[in-house]
Copies of this chain bind each other. A is one copy, B any other.
Amino acid sequence: MVDFAGRDIISVKDFTKEELTYPFALTREFKKRVQAHEGLDLLKGYVLCSLFYEPSTRTRLSFESAMQRLGGGVLTVAEAKRTTSAAKGESLADAVQVMEKYADVILLRHPEVGAAQVAADAASAPVINGGDGAGEHAPQTFSELFTINEEKGTIDRLEITLMGDLKHARVMRSLAMGLSRFDIKLNLVSPESLRMDPEIVGMFEKGKVVELTNLDDVLPTTDVLYLCRIQKERFASEAEYEALRGTYRVDNSLLSKAKKDITIMHPLPRMDELDPEVDSHPGAAYFRQAADLLYNRMALLALILGKA
């Protein structure tokens, strides 16, 4: 039996395959109802607090829209580091114990790995990890698994390629953990110095996961290509950067070597690594991926507040 009521959403590790896919049906339902501009009252009488120690747009706005579209209220602390008592030295544990007096669920973004767990341990109210440094972004994975499933009709049996800075990108880390619950083939394409955490790679059966520095060998068989940017300063050297930058840039020319029905995903914002000419490719799913965040977050909020 899947039961989300009262649960924190901190790490993808805490969720089974059944739990990760459980919100799919509700996500689909909310998508329909939002598109019909139904004014829902499901979370009337509930309040979300966005507590952001680092700036964010996508995560904050998608959750705040989700809460309001369900009839709930929103409290925003967009720059907690500068504008809260954190500046005076208040502990995160104390801060969330106060916040939960005014809100029923706390969405936290924090620069330190593990901060979301610290907050969840201190708070009675559910805490959602909206990104903890180079740690995780668990709700993102819930939504991106939904997007893959909607684009492809399945997750199992796919060949999925993650490309970019797999060491520092928390969305990549969380997604890989989530994908380890499924029967897929995973390709991890990154410079040597920006490899995925071996612990996460180890979650996959041998033979089901490959690490490469170059996309070429796996592009022709890839069903879903999920890329994110690599900051120039992450490369080991200027020479490595110059040698590899071409590989990590997706445009229509590169996609001509891919499957006709390839799906392209990106967490956005994009820089050079994804040419805007790709936007008109039928498999360009990144703006649909951004839209799904709203519907999936509505589902997560309704579930953890015990209203669905």
Which residues of A does B touch, CB under 8 Å?
34, 37-41, 44-47, 49, 55-58, 61-62, 64-65, 68-69, 71, 73-80, 82-85, 87-90, 93-95, 97-99, 101-104, 268-271, 276, 287, 290-291, 293-294
Q: Are B57 and A101 in contact (CB under 8 A)?
A: no
Report whether B102 and A77 are in contact in the complex, using a CB–CB cutoff of 8 Å: no
Q: Report whether A62 and B94 are in contact in the complex, using a CB–CB cutoff of 8 Å.
A: no
Tell me which of B46, B78, B268, B269 contacts A83 (CB under 8 A): B78
Cross-chain contact of A98 among B71, B79, B104, B290 (Cβ < 8 A): B290
Given the interface pairs A94-B270, A287-B97, A287-B101, the reply to whether A57 lies near B73 with Cβ below 8 Å is: no
Q: Is the CB of A61 within 8 A of B268?
A: no
Query: Interface centre among A56, A69, A82, by most B CB within 10 Å?
Result: A69
Chain B contacts of A45 at CB under 8 A? 34, 37-40, 69
List 12 additional contacts besides A57-B98, A61-B75, A78-B78; criterion CB under 8 Å.
Answer: A37-B45, A39-B41, A39-B45, A55-B82, A55-B84, A57-B77, A65-B103, A69-B73, A88-B269, A88-B271, A94-B269, A102-B294
Query: Distance in Å from the Cβ of A58 to the closest Cβ of chain B?
Result: 6
Contacts A102-B294, A268-B94 given: A83-B65 contact, CB under 8 Å?
no
Can you list 23 A-B contacts (CB < 8 A)?
A37-B46, A39-B41, A45-B69, A47-B65, A49-B61, A55-B82, A55-B83, A55-B87, A56-B83, A57-B77, A57-B80, A57-B83, A57-B84, A57-B99, A58-B85, A61-B102, A64-B102, A85-B268, A85-B269, A88-B269, A93-B276, A94-B269, A102-B294
Question: Which of A64, A104, A269, A271 gathers most chain B CB within 10 Å?
Answer: A269
- A73-B83 CB under 8 A given contacts A46-B37, A90-B269: no
Taking CB as reference atom, which chain B residue is nearest A102? Answer: B65
What residues of B have a CB within 8 angstroms of the CB of A58 in the complex? Answer: 85, 98
